[in-house]
Structure 1
């Protein structure tokens, strides 16, 4: 059965590129989102997020009549759910958005349709989604009820793309296909092969769900090692950047770079899904999360030490001193603030500091709500001229091109090692 119309539920950092990818192959694609502004923007041929090349693909698709957006679902042959899956309370997975999306599309399902969950989810999420759909549509059969003979096919197919490279990796990367049955897997492969240049690697839904969590937990553990090294090196008066560079000359060592923590919807969240379901077994994964979650508070301590030194050496009062935080996004050169440690550090500083807290973030036009009352968004030149203390949190290209010799502030906390050649240790007191 061919896919004449494809619907993508959730038009964010994954949903919109995915919708655009199908539309680029001249398929009729309907994107669904509760954000009316996003819907209006897309229907004009524009985009509401920052991602290289996405604007061009969306405009071409909209102008060609292959992509449109709406706030309410309509009938289609395949539905891809790409909505947020945050955690709640004590790091428990919150599947409310997935449940809402499933119940929303249930009314327009028909026999022969394919439903794919792309959202990062705990193990068993696809089965739970199928159960929600079955409750809403008792007139249709689902894989957990009828196996290969089900009216509706269900699969889990996680995204595995890098922000800033989505429109390349979405096409090139292999895709893990986890169908609830072999028929589900084959139908999902047929769908993704519309645009996919990589390979569809087939498994079952539970393994595919765990695969996504495993990939991001692996990265989280490795980042935690680098972040823990930075804490140790600060105590031992060692330049962590030089240390990692030297250690990585070993043929079987590849240590990542430390930073102010770990952000983004995936790496900062997914490991907790494993911990929540396996609290006794996931000891290393839990510890890595705690190391990375604790790094912003350590950065605040370094800022406090710099401020104390500044007050001791200058004639200013604490209320007169200005701190500039460079960067808010969770990684360089994007506009994504989800779970960003830079936002957390900035909030910690603003809540503690008696004076002004300035922020430079070249990729956003408006501060997140949690910062709007406590910090001021300024241009880079203004921050360099006005600030007494600089806190570099994100290695945006605009910051990496700053000549270290032109930075006059002696009080700097450089969490990304951008100015590491200037100082013997970039995360210790100057």
Structure 2
């Protein structure tokens, strides 16, 4: 039962997780079909190109396509195993939006044959993998679904959450431990055979709900600790104390490791996943909810500080450096930097706001409605600006304090210009 998977595998969702997973499998001899509803993404992958920036991914995609191991299509094929890696955003009430997962299941279910493996990688609330089995069963009553009372299930269903860091995906997808949770132990074992093809880290087998919860807990842990740093920064600001110095000193304690404050929390995981825990147990998750509220409030505080600084000028120009959710990637999903810019633009409609990011070549859709926001080269923007706001610590921005900020009001939300 410990042999690696061999056969044809389809991955639904060619995004930041689906495509690297496809490459990790294809470059190790597995025939992989990438499926995506976006025809532009399918066309790019079919050409051996990557539709987003991620170190080391482009050469791997090109090689996998050239070897004939990776193809892309908009139609779900018949395969021996399926990995669902589609988005799971949240609704307005912070409950999980599982519509993309359900749509993927509707594509997979008609293709299933006895012996197939279905793995959900999309981050999901506890119980989603069980719900996936119920959706399949509704479409395919001819197939026996796995449960503790069914030793001879036709289909093997499991959850294996991704746990990689943008900018290091191609390293961490290989080296990180993986949690594989099955609806039954046999489901977990069969799903683990897929990850044994490429994973060098330990593969930890468990039940599906525990695997779902573990991923949410990982990101809630980060969120709570970031909220602690952000709340400390508010307190230090009110007391006119340098928070960066306080954290530096406190972190010299051997059992203290305070994270850095910032303009908010972004990306596809940390701003979303803790809400799934809150929605699952709303009366018991007060700390997790409060941390989310602290971090959600942070972009508003940063924008208010910039607007206050702008009152010193008759007609200031503001340069905002950084639009992505973290440094040195092109990912703008849930970016607090974009939210900060939007709040400033709305509060100061007559003020020119120049946004700069070496990884973003267009004004994001969330800012396109503001006539006073314009994309600009960073050096030109800083030269023109009266106020310079550092929102993302991209490498090209770090040295600017020493070369271009003389005489300007600088607001560093990341602590790299101290």
**Shorter-chain TM-score tier:** over 0.9
1:369 match: 365
Question: TM-score normalized by structure 1?
Answer: 0.94
Matches of 1:42 and 1:213, distance apart in 2 = 30
1:167-186 aligned at under 5 Å gives the runs: 167-186=170-189
Q: Are 1:201 and 2:204 matched, yes or no?
A: yes
Q: Deviation digits for residues 118-144 of structure 1, max 9, x if unmatched?
A: 000000000001111111111111114
Matches of 1:44 and 1:405, distance apart in 2 = 42
Q: Deviation digits for residues 362-413 of structure 1, max 9, x if unmatched?
A: 1022222121232111111111111111111000011113243531243121
Matches of 1:130 and 1:28, distance apart in 2 = 25
CA contact (8 A) 1:143 1:154 kept: yes
Where does structure 1 lack aligned partners over 5 or more consecutive residues?
A: 312-316, 421-430
Go from structure 1 to structure 2 and tell me whether the alpha carbon gap of 1:278 and 1:409 turns closer, same or farther (over 3 Å shift). farther
1:40 match: 43
1:359 match: 355
CA contact (8 A) 1:322 1:355 kept: yes
SS of residue matched to 1:215: helix
Go from structure 1 to structure 2 and tell me whether the alpha carbon gap of 1:301 and 1:127 turns closer, same or farther (over 3 Å shift). same
Q: Are 1:278 and 2:281 matched, yes or no?
A: yes
SS of residue matched to 2:52: coil
Q: Deviation digits for residues 74-104 of structure 1, max 9, x if unmatched?
A: 0111100000000002111110000000111
Q: Are 1:378 and 2:379 matched, yes or no?
A: no
1:424 match: none
What RMSD over aligned residues (CA atoms) do the two structures have, in Å?
A: 1.2
Where does structure 2 lack aligned partners over 5 or more consecutive residues?
A: none
Question: TM-score normalized by structure 2?
Answer: 0.97
Q: Deviation digits for residues 286-307 of structure 1, max 9, x if unmatched?
A: 0000000000010011101211
After TM superposition, what 4+ stretches of structure 1 lie above 2 angstroms from structure 2? Answer: 144-148, 401-406
Matches of 2:121 and 2:192, distance apart in 1 = 14
Matches of 2:191 and 2:29, distance apart in 1 = 18
* One of 306, 321, 326 as aligned partner of 1:331: 326
SS of residue matched to 1:149: coil
* One of 9, 20, 23 as aligned partner of 2:23: 20
Tell me how far 1:64 sits from its aligned partner. Answer: 0.5
Q: Are 1:220 and 2:215 matched, yes or no?
A: no
CA contact (8 A) 1:74 1:108 kept: yes
CA contact (8 A) 1:4 1:27 kept: yes
2:102 match: 99
What is the total number of aligned residue pairs between the two structures?
A: 412
